[in-house]
């Protein structure tokens, strides 16, 4: 763009030395020239852009009010001084005689886009016209548009990646969008349903019911169970979307496939019912053992552990019972409860390792109505609430997930619990006793157990020694459980252990501790066919580690001289030892040089199975 500037009534022969001389001279009629200058100034001020004219020396000849206001440029101002970064652009236009467009300029705290054009008078360039457009608002709008685009992309990505189905409809029930998960769940294509009304979908048999229609009618959140043509069971949740005026403009429907969840829930409920029954039986057995004097302590280390338990029973401090599986940690917990001031209140026994990880929080802390799919309509109290005023025994506490460890720590600090899905905290009076066979310090080092929780639980640790470290207790425990199971299962006089059988039991290390000893004693009582229990009647796990040869029951010959019985005892011992050594019937048969069917028959004959 080249600008030619011819003021009215100018003399063609009038010498013009610069732009100021042209604009400020009064050729011809002074009145007309003055009116022309006023008109030119009014014209410039009427523009919404910042406009000014610069002569070849860089002096401002004309500037409108926007330039004067925002840039402080008045006629006579030097561009090189006032706008030093802009002056090189003006010089380029003066030299090349070509205009520059969209040049970014920062001045007066405002961002401009500049258009700089030469002003031609006859054959000379006598100045430069500078037109600056304020782009501040444009930049703000552009940034907002970019932000909206990014947000739209994020929303698209979220909708597309969701495993739940999503339907979006307008206020007339017209389907605007469905995601890939919904296509998969309903066996539909988005291209076939977008643009159709939800009522058409019902008429065509694609869906049975419409949660969208329920939302449009009620104007509030609605839920609906629906079965697809493929037999999948869906939980539909419809949510209304309102505009600023409060008018409903959209309905967003979330579809969740609960087919597997329903099946798992039913299986879980059945399993939990079994677990609860087993748990009650175990608790009843423990109580019966306590009342029957089954806490047998002959060794100094178990006496010390029981003494510690009795002492801590008088206070409400947190107790951590440590020991291998089967050592009797639950019995120690019962002892604390029995001798405590809370003995008339319940002690709730929870095996943390037996609860599925996804249900730990809802089982321990309870849940509110509608907290999750399948939740009971009235909600459910957790074990903490059930143990209020009593004791909560968290067996295998090391198996708690990290998230539940945090909530347990919070309860230990303030005595308050909040149900899953709830907002109201409940204050409870519960004493905590924990037990574990795991090395908690090692778990802390591996990041599997919280250090702060370990410190809160480890206030009073009690270590229950394994049976291999309670040699003085073994004989009394064996005699006690032989008598106990005889009275419970058979009645009459308990069988007598031979010297060799008793020596073998006393020499055995019992890796399963008290629990294994009880099981062995019960087996011996049930399987005993005579008043005497000998080495060949013992399980292979007990006799496998014997270092000295056994007499295989030959001492029985002294009483009745029965060779058949003695040979049966030898055969039983040999087969038992072969099975313990080789592990399978096939390998044992190969080692003994007989067929596997022979071994199987002998196992059945001697009751070794």
Question: Residues near 152 by Cβ (< 8 Å), separated by ≥ 6?
Answer: none
Q: How far is CA 96 from CA 2, 117, 118, 438, in A?
A: 12, 11, 9, 86
Cβ neighbors of 146 (< 8 A, separation 6 or more) are none
Distance CA 43, CA 35 (A): 12
Locus of tokens 């910042």: 50
| Number of H-type helices and E-type strands within the chain | 26, 20
CA distances from 479 to 62, 329, 502, 519, 539 (A): 118, 21, 10, 13, 17
- CA 438, 442, 443, 444 torsion-angle sign: positive
> pLDDT at position 609, please?
65
Q: Contact 375/388 with Cβ under 8 angstroms?
A: no
Q: Same fold for the domain at 263-465 and the one at 551-609?
A: no
Report which of 263, 254, 202 is spatially closest to residue 231, judged by C-alpha positions: 263
Phi, psi (5° rounding) for residue 597?
-65, -35
Structure tokens at 558: 């002294």
Nearest Cα to Cα of residue 92 among 63, 70, 125: 125
Instruction: Give the largest CA-CA distance in the chain.
Output: 160
List the domain boundaries for the chain: 3-138, 151-257, 263-465, 467-543, 551-609
Q: Give helix 471-485 / helix 513-527 axis angle, nearest 10°.
A: 40
The angle subtended at Cα 471 by Cα 467 and Cα 475, nearest 5°, is 95
Residues pairing with 4 in the sheet: 120
CA nearest to 443, candidates 453, 432, 433: 453
Residue entry with tokens 């087969």: 575
CB 506 within 8 A of CB 492: no
Q: How many whole angstroms separate alpha carbon 387 and alpha carbon 345?
A: 8
Cβ proximity of 292 and 484 under 8 Å: yes
Domain 3-138 indexed as CATH 3.60.21.10:
no
The CATH code belonging to domain 467-543 is 1.10.8.60
Residue 525 and residue 496: Cα distance in Å, rounded?
Answer: 10
Proportion of the chain above pLDDT 90, given as a percent: 25
Q: What's the rounded Cα separation, in Å, for the pair 388 and 390?
A: 5
Inter-CA distances, 55 with 22, 47, 90, 273, 419, Å: 11, 21, 10, 97, 80
Cβ pair 384, 362 in contact under 8 A: no
CATH class entry, domain 551-609: mainly alpha
How far is Cα 407 from Cα 393, in angstroms, rounded to an integer?
Answer: 16
Question: What pLDDT is stored for residue 461 in this prediction?
Answer: 95
CA–CA dist 120, 112 (Å, integer): 25
Count of positions (residues) in the chain: 609
Cα separation, 160 vs 182, in Å, equals: 10
Q: How far apart are CA 95 and CA 360, in angstroms?
A: 81
d(CA 257, CA 322): 43
- Positions in the chain short of pLDDT 50: 1-17, 26, 278, 281-293, 549-553, 556-559
User: Strands, DSSP E only, in 243-318?
Assistant: 248-257
Amino acid 122: pLDDT: 79
Q: Which two tokens stand for residue 458?
A: 């480890």
* Selection from 346, 342, 333, 345 nearest residue 290 by Cα: 333
Nearest Cα to Cα of residue 51 among 67, 38, 36, 39: 67
Q: Which helix (H) or strand (E) holds 460?
A: strand 460-463
Q: What DSSP designation does 292 have?
A: T
Q: How many CB atoms lie within 10 A of CB 213?
A: 18
* DSSP category for residue 59: B
Report the half-sphere exposure of 449 (CA within 13 A, side-chain side): 20
pLDDT for the residue 281: 46
Topology of domain 151-257 in CATH is: Beta-Lactamase (3.30.450)
State the pLDDT at residue 31.
Answer: 66
Given 3-state DSSP classes, what are the helix, strand and coil percentages for the chain, each rounded to the nearest 5? 50, 20, 30
Pick the CATH number of 263-465 from 3.30.720.200, 3.40.50.300, 2.170.190.11, 3.40.50.2000: 3.40.50.300
CA distance 87 to 77: 12
* Alpha-carbon gap, residue 160 to 600, rounded angstroms: 61
């Amino acid at each position: 763009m080249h600008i030619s500037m011819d003021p009215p009534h100018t003399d063609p022969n009038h010498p013009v030395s610069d732009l100021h001389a042209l604009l400020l001279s009064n050729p011809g009629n002074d009145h007309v020239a003055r009116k022309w200058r006023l008109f030119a100034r009014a014209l410039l001020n009427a523009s919404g852009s910042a406009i000014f004219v610069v002569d070849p020396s860089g002096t401002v000849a004309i500037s409108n009010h926007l330039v004067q206001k925002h840039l402080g440029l008045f006629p006579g101002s030097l561009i090189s001084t006032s706008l030093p970064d802009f002056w090189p652009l003006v010089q380029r236009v003066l030299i090349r005689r070509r205009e520059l467009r969209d040049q970014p300029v920062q001045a007066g705290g405002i961002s401009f886009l500049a258009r700089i054009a030469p002003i031609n008078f006859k054959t000379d360039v006598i100045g430069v016209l500078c037109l600056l457009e304020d782009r501040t608002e444009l930049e703000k709008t552009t940034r907002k548009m970019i932000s909206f685009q990014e947000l739209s992309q994020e929303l698209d990505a979220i909708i597309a990646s969701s495993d739940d189905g999503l339907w979006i409809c307008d206020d007339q029930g017209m389907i605007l969008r469905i995601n890939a998960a919904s296509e998969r769940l309903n066996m539909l294509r988005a291209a076939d349903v977008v643009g159709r009304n939800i009522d058409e979908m019902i008429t065509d048999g694609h869906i049975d019911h419409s949660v969208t229609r329920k939302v449009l009618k009620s104007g509030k959140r609605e839920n609906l169970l629906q079965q697809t043509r493929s037999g999948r069971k869906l939980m539909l949740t419809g949510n209304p979307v309102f505009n600023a005026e409060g008018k409903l403009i959209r309905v967003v429907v979330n579809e969740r496939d609960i087919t597997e969840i329903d099946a798992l829930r039913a299986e879980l409920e059945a399993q939990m019912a079994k677990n609860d029954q087993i748990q009650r039986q175990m608790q009843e057995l423990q109580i019966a053992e306590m009342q029957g004097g089954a806490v047998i302590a002959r060794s100094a280390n178990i006496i010390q552990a029981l003494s510690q338990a009795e002492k801590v029973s008088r206070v409400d401090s947190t107790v951590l019972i440590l020991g291998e599986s089967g050592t009797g940690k639950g019995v120690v917990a019962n002892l604390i409860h029995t001798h405590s001031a809370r003995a008339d209140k319940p002690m709730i026994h929870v095996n943390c390792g037996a609860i599925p990880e996804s249900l730990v929080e809802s089982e321990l802390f309870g849940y509110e109505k509608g907290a999750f799919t399948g939740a009971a309509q009235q909600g459910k109290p957790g074990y903490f609430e059930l143990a209020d005023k009593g004791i909560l025994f968290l067996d295998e506490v090391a198996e708690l997930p990290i998230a539940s460890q945090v909530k347990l720590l919070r309860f230990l600090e303030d005595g308050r619990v909040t149900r899953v899905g709830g907002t109201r905290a409940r204050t409870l009076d519960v004493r905590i006793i924990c037990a574990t066979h795991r090395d908690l310090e090692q778990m802390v080092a591996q990041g599997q157990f919280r250090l702060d929780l370990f410190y809160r639980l480890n206030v009073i640790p009690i270590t229950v020694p394994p049976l291999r470290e309670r040699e003085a207790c073994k004989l009394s425990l064996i005699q006690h459980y032989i008598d106990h199971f005889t009275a419970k299962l058979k009645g009459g006089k308990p069988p007598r252990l031979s010297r060799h059988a008793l020596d073998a039991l006393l020499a055995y290390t019992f890796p399963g501790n008290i629990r294994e000893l009880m099981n062995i004693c019960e087996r011996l009582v049930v399987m005993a066919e005579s008043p005497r229990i000998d080495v060949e009647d013992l399980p292979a796990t007990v006799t496998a580690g014997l270092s000295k040869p056994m007499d295989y029951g030959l001492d029985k010959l002294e009483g009745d001289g029965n060779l058949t019985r003695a040979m049966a005892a030898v055969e039983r011992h040999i087969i038992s030892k072969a099975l313990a050594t080789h592990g399978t019937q096939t390998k044992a048969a190969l080692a003994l040089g007989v067929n596997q069917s022979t071994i199987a028959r002998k196992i059945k004959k001697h009751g070794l199975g």
